[in-house]
Structure 1
Amino acid sequence: MRSERSRFYAWNLGLPIAIALAIFVVFDLTSLDEMISNWLYYPNHEFPYGHNRLFENLTHRWPRIIPDLTGEAAIIGSILSFIWPLLKPGRHDRLIRSLETMRIGPVLRFTARYRRDFLYIVVSFAIITGMIHFFKSHTSIYCPVETTLYGGTMEKKEWFENFSLFHEAGAGRCWPGGHASGGFTMVALYFVARRHQWRHARAILYASMVLGAIYGTTRVLQGWHFMSHTFWAGVIVWMGALLTALAFYGWRQLAPSAEATPGAFAAIAR
């Protein structure tokens, strides 16, 4: 049991911490971010698709519907989950028959059965959003196009140079990547799938990682983020989703069976 617990935390907590250290060394302590953005920066002093309205809609505005609808569905499911347990046979027979006739009964039973999962998604989304906003306001990092490197007026700084724990650091709001974090929040569904040992759990994990990477990379193409902002968003979102899942389920329900895959970041590593 102890070795299983150690393996779970090594993959799901230790590995993302190691990834965070790697991002810090490879990006934050070097000029790699600037090299990537310089390569994208056109000779006529603008980023590709920076002012393309169609690209903005396709990659920024419209994709928000995926995490937004997921969060809204979880809220609705959480509310509905409290209805069915209130209906007592013998006292609410007519109402129960009506709900069954309208095929609402199965929906209410489903939400009641998975109430904890619906609540987990709601809470994890809220915590992740709060974490992202905290780091944005307490680091006050400006986006590439806002810095003097790419035609802006603000100085480029690294997040650790400007971090303030107890108060806002300034007006900048670019680190970590907010849009990327929206895609990465879908990883909460992976922990639900992991809890129930659903065979498509790994597919949900991959889809969440790809979605967040696409969200973040498209903003890099527009000059609104450095590449490391996307990677940091992924790490922060993962930590928020993991810690919330541990609070809701405990590590035993999240630990894979002998036949299942190892922890989530292990699946990525492989």
Structure 2
Amino acid sequence: MLPSSRRRVALTLLLLVPILLWDVSGGDLPLARLFGTAQGFAWRHDPTFGFLLHAVPRALSTACVLALVWGVWRPWGPLRTLPAADRGQLVLSIVLAMLAVQALKRLAATSCPWDLAEFGGVAVYVSHWDWGVWDQGPGHCFPAGHASAAFGFVAGWWVLRRKLPRLALPWLCAALISGVVLGWAQQVRGAHYLSHTLWTGWICWSVGLLVEEAVQARRRLRAAGVTNLNGT
């Protein structure tokens, strides 16, 4: 592994530390109690709140992904300065990050806060670390799928930092802030715990890194092959 790759991996592992510390603290349930009661979560069925912070962001996220997909073949705006391969990597990273979160949700036994008996549901609280332990609820609530509609774009930062450094930081900040807002909205509604949001952000970041490392490794192999051919 190249020194630059080791630094990226080290940074990613460092970002994991505060998430693990939060998990160890057991703060998920006490934080959920700030918004929920035995009657449930007051904001869960608020139509305006749900529309502005659930339906609209989902639609905007889908529109942005489709625009980037279109930009692979018909580049627009800053995408015109990216080679086709990098435009493809940008889209691939984002889509894979979102799909990774959805795939993990399908495998998870963890139920949402609003499913807990103390908030009017039927489930008992079980940490997402207790793999395979049924909490008597519907499950499939970890990590936070809604937040991935914004955090998924974090994965694209790895491409932009190389080719469009002036755009990379605003892009990253916008994706992170939007992901935090969407995660907070879902927490208020009782749809997720804070840990679900934190893990979603880290997963999306990590998927972007994995794609970046795979692409760079492939390019190094191709470059080495061309060098060997020229040498012979």
Superposition TM-score tier, normalisation by shorter sequence = 0.7 to 0.9
Aligned to 1:127: 96
RMSD: 2.9
Report if the CA contact (8 A) 1:187-1:238 is conserved.
yes
Q: Taking structure 1 as reference, are residues 7 and 113 closer, same or farther at Cα in structure 2, changes over 3 Å only?
A: closer
Deviation track 1:214-263 (CA, whole Å, cap 9, x = no partner) reads: 0110011111111111111111111111111222245999xxxxxxxxxx
Aligned to 1:87: none
Aligned to 1:188: 155
Aligned to 2:16: 17
Task: Letter of the 2:163 partner, please give it.
Answer: H
Counterpart of 2:125 in 1: which secondary structure?
A: coil
Deviation track 1:32-91 (CA, whole Å, cap 9, x = no partner) reads: 11111112225x72323211101100000001133212211122122447xxxxxxxxxx
**TM-score normalised over the length of structure 1:** 0.70
Alpha-carbon distance in structure 1 between the residues aligned to 2:68 and 2:13: 29
Report if the CA contact (8 A) 1:116-1:248 is conserved.
no
Q: Taking structure 1 as reference, are residues 122 and 8 closer, same or farther at Cα in structure 2, changes over 3 Å only?
A: closer
Aligned to 1:149: 118
Is residue 66 of structure 2 the alignment partner of residue 66 of structure 1? no
Task: Letter of the 2:201 partner, please give it.
Answer: G
Moved more, 2-11 or 152-161: 2-11
Task: Letter of the 2:10 partner, please give it.
Answer: A
Q: Taking structure 1 as reference, are residues 122 and 51 closer, same or farther at Cα in structure 2, changes over 3 Å only?
A: same
Alpha-carbon shift at residue 200 of structure 1 (Å):
3.5
Q: Taking structure 1 as reference, are residues 140 and 222 closer, same or farther at Cα in structure 2, changes over 3 Å only?
A: same
Aligned to 2:47: 53
Report if the CA contact (8 A) 2:156-2:208 is conserved.
no
Alpha-carbon distance in structure 2 between the residues aligned to 1:248 and 1:2: 14
Alpha-carbon distance in structure 1 between the residues aligned to 2:4 and 2:193: 38
Counterpart of 1:200 in 2: which secondary structure?
A: helix
Gaps of 5+ in 2: 221-232
Q: Taking structure 1 as reference, are residues 211 and 250 closer, same or farther at Cα in structure 2, changes over 3 Å only?
A: farther
Report if the CA contact (8 A) 1:147-1:156 is conserved.
yes
Report if the CA contact (8 A) 1:139-1:160 is conserved.
no
Report if the CA contact (8 A) 1:16-1:235 is conserved.
yes
Report if the CA contact (8 A) 1:149-1:156 is conserved.
no
- The structure number with the bigger radius of gyration is 1
Determine what percentage of the aligned residue pairs are the same residue.
27
Report if the CA contact (8 A) 1:71-1:121 is conserved.
no
Deviation track 1:141-174 (CA, whole Å, cap 9, x = no partner) reads: 111111212110122211221349xxxxx94221
Aligned to 2:107: 138
Q: Taking structure 1 as reference, are residues 67 and 79 closer, same or farther at Cα in structure 2, changes over 3 Å only?
A: same
Q: Taking structure 1 as reference, are residues 161 and 2 closer, same or farther at Cα in structure 2, changes over 3 Å only?
A: closer
Alpha-carbon distance in structure 1 between the residues aligned to 2:218 and 2:183: 30
Counterpart of 2:93 in 1: which secondary structure?
A: helix
Alpha-carbon shift at residue 4 of structure 1 (Å):
4.5
Report if the CA contact (8 A) 1:180-1:230 is conserved.
yes
